[in-house]
Amino acid sequence: MIQCKDCEFCVIDPDGSIQLKCHPYQNIKEPECLTKWQLMKLDVMVRAYLSTVAQYKKLAPMQEKMMKAMEREIEEFEETEKWKFGDLEEEEETEEEKEDDEPPKIP
């Protein structure tokens, strides 16, 4: 089996990171090369996911503040609009209370 460091499709950067320039459908030399290529791609996907999660963690406090502000705005709006529908809601509540207070009718 050829080691990656001996392959012409492997590039090792000065910082030690490895880049595989091989293409899985064109120039893979050995079956193990495909496994290594898949592991490298999987590692890239995991790093991308972790960076996305880190960004979401940074945004979480701001999202919480926005949600609280929106809830306050909605509550204030409902309170200002309550005078329009206040009588209807009170009538519905009293009707429901009357229905709850009445004993069930037995035929």
pLDDT tens, the chain, 107 aa long: 778 778 888 888 888 887 778 877 888 778 888 888 888 889 999 999 999 999 999 999 999 999 999 999 999 988 888 777 665 566 666 666 666 655 566 65
Q: What is the pLDDT of residue 18?
A: 79
Residue 16 belongs to some domain of the structure: yes
Residue 10 belongs to some domain of the structure: yes
pTM for this one? 0.53
Q: What is the pLDDT of residue 100?
A: 60
Beta strand ranges found along the chain (DSSP E): 10-12, 18-20
Residue 102 belongs to some domain of the structure: no
What is the rounded CA–CA span in Å between residue 73 and residue 76?
A: 5
Spatial CA neighbour of 27 closest among 44, 9, 10: 9
Q: What is the pLDDT of residue 53?
A: 96
In the chain, the number of structural domains is: 1
Residue 103 belongs to some domain of the structure: no
Q: What is the pLDDT of residue 90?
A: 62
By residue range, what is the domain housing residue 36? 4-96
